[in-house]
Structure 1
Amino acid sequence: MAAGAPAGALLGLLGLLVGSFLNVVIHRLPRMMERQWARECAELQGHDSEAAEEKAYNLLVPRSACPHCGHTIRWHENIPVLSYALLRGRCSQCGHGIGIRYPLVELTTGALFAWVGWQWGLGVTALAWCGFAAALLALAGIDWDTTLLPDDITLPLLWAGLVLSAAGLMSVPLTDAVWGAVAGYLSLWLIYWVFKLLTGKEGMGHGDFKLFAALGAWFGWQALVPIILMASVLGAVVGIGIKLVGRLREGGYVPFGPFLALGGITAMLFGPRAILAAVGL
């Protein structure tokens, strides 16, 4: 289907459904990682039986439930955006409030998917950019909550950019994509070590290196400066705002991954050059 309103509408509806699933990913994937670490520790200590008795917990099992009363979410209570509005943002069983982030993630995913459909229609390239947007939204949410950027998302995102470039499905030549991945990783790796040597503290996590490498693979090495500039400006503004209202978390840090993700989404929407033009460079 050609680019335009019909494709945008179809992908927008798909985006609402994907956004609902992203809420599950944001909530469950860090807990799945913690359980995996616990199992590995138990195995090293010779407690295999404890790990074997653990109930199944993944992105599909168990069914979603209210964290306050345990009420299992019925299908009609899980319709993206609509159910939240009909329930007035509250659990149908206990009346406890449901976070506004759930419909916001669904709406944002739907809007990004609709934009992709408008730009590229329905095809492999459009689906690739939908996957790109979904991955960045999931990473932003997870990192904001937990300061984790899971390899389960960052590494496939990196490889997808390289493979799509090699297949000729992206406008970025493979050479630029490869050097973008290399430069993205090494640039933040060097900043990390310089900061650590000067202060004795860790200024960012290794997941940030991998995420920036993935963005380099998707946009090429030329886009790294605009993306990191956008991420730094957004991070500084939000960090100052949080500090002013006294809501900095323990340790006084703000995770950088969400702002890298926003920089990547901005580059997708407007192009890296537009970011530089916006700041007068």
Structure 2
Amino acid sequence: MPEGLWLQIAMGGAFGLLIGSFLNVVIYRLPKMMEREWAAGCAEISGQELAAQEAFNLFVPRSRCQQCGHQIRWYENIPVLSYLALRGKCSACATPISMRYPLVELVTGALFAWCLWRWGWSWTAAAWCVFVAVLVALTLIDWDTTLLPDDLTLPLLWLGLIAAALGFSSIPLSDAVWGAVAGYMSLWLIYWAFKLATGKEGMGFGDFKLFAALGAWFGWQALVPIILMASVIGAIVGIAMKLRSSLREGGVVPFGPFLSMAGLTAMLFGPQAILRVVGL
């Protein structure tokens, strides 16, 4: 492998670590920002006044310990290294810090490095790095809250169409458009068939939009492999959680994380590789 490519891969991985650190902020704060918006909307409709609150978005206030309120200093926020130096504990109150934080950074860094190895220093690699970052965030937000925010799914859909139009995703724009249409409509029809048959909602509208986004990135031909892999992974995880009695109230297992995992698998190995794995 050329020496210059190694440098590109290392730079991509390092940048991915930084983006992973930011994704941890997005995963934690975006649902809370949505809750604030909903509360403000409800208050406006009902004519009530909300108490003044401090600014809260992806950039302010500064990150702090959720237990003691200690503000995280810059040198305590270096991806992975700070976690190791602090031994996974808050420097002020010694409250354990979830290992998920460095894992998100490592996974994002590894996937960014892979994109640079696969496509080199190019706009195509940049496009797929954005794809990776959004799916990592959506996976954990949906797992935590059963929400797939439009602020992430809709830009991912449009970026998939733009990537196809500019030749970054190696599929024709027509395949991307029909992939988005088929992705949305297929789950929409399943949703209504299930609701009419049982009176229950089997999935949320965010799943339709995420599947549409994956169709835009990979084309309509990839939808069957992606939904097969997502269903298999979801079934395995759901059964395991049921056996361990770890299902959340109502027995809900969000489907978005498994769609995201299938999308990342399709990026790494190609949609057809998924069919070979499941024997088709």
Match of 2:198 in 1: 199
Superposition deviation, residue 184 in structure 1: 0.2
Match of 1:59 in 2: 58
Which runs of no fewer than 5 residues in structure 1 stay unpaired?
Answer: none
Superposition deviation, residue 254 in structure 1: 0.5
Superposition deviation, residue 5 in structure 1: 2.2
C-alpha contact (below 8 Å) 2:178/2:215 kept by paired residues = yes
TM-score, length-scaled by structure 2: 0.97
C-alpha contact (below 8 Å) 1:2/1:120 kept by paired residues = no
Match of 1:46 in 2: 47
Match of 1:159 in 2: 158
Match of 1:276 in 2: 275
Count of residue pairs the alignment pairs up: 279
C-alpha contact (below 8 Å) 2:65/2:71 kept by paired residues = yes
Which runs of no fewer than 5 residues in structure 2 stay unpaired?
Answer: none
Match of 1:215 in 2: 214
Structure 2: distance between partners of 1:2 and 1:137 = 29
Structure 1: distance between partners of 2:17 and 2:247 = 31
Superposition deviation, residue 76 in structure 1: 0.7
Match of 2:79 in 1: 80
Structure 2: distance between partners of 1:86 and 1:264 = 34
Q: Which residues in structure 2 correspond to 1:1-281 (within 5 Å)? A: 4-48=5-49, 50=50, 53-281=52-280
Letter in 2 for 1:96: T
C-alpha contact (below 8 Å) 1:139/1:261 kept by paired residues = yes
Structure 1: distance between partners of 2:224 and 2:202 = 19
Superposition deviation, residue 7 in structure 1: 1.6
C-alpha contact (below 8 Å) 2:108/2:133 kept by paired residues = yes
Q: 1:174 to 1:2 in 2, by over 3 A?
A: farther
Letter in 1 for 2:135: L
Q: 1:259 to 1:152 in 2, by over 3 A?
A: same
C-alpha contact (below 8 Å) 1:149/1:257 kept by paired residues = yes
1:191-247: CA deviation from partner (whole Å, max 9, x where unpaired): 111111111111100000000000000000000000001100110111111111110
Structure 1 residue matching 2:249: 3-state secondary structure: coil
Letter in 2 for 1:157: L
Give identity over the alignment, percent: 70
Superposition deviation, residue 42 in structure 1: 1.2
TM-score, length-scaled by structure 1: 0.97
C-alpha contact (below 8 Å) 1:161/1:177 kept by paired residues = yes
C-alpha contact (below 8 Å) 2:127/2:168 kept by paired residues = no
1:15-44: CA deviation from partner (whole Å, max 9, x where unpaired): 000000000000000000000011111111
Structure 2: distance between partners of 1:31 and 1:38 = 10
Structure 1: distance between partners of 2:75 and 2:7 = 26
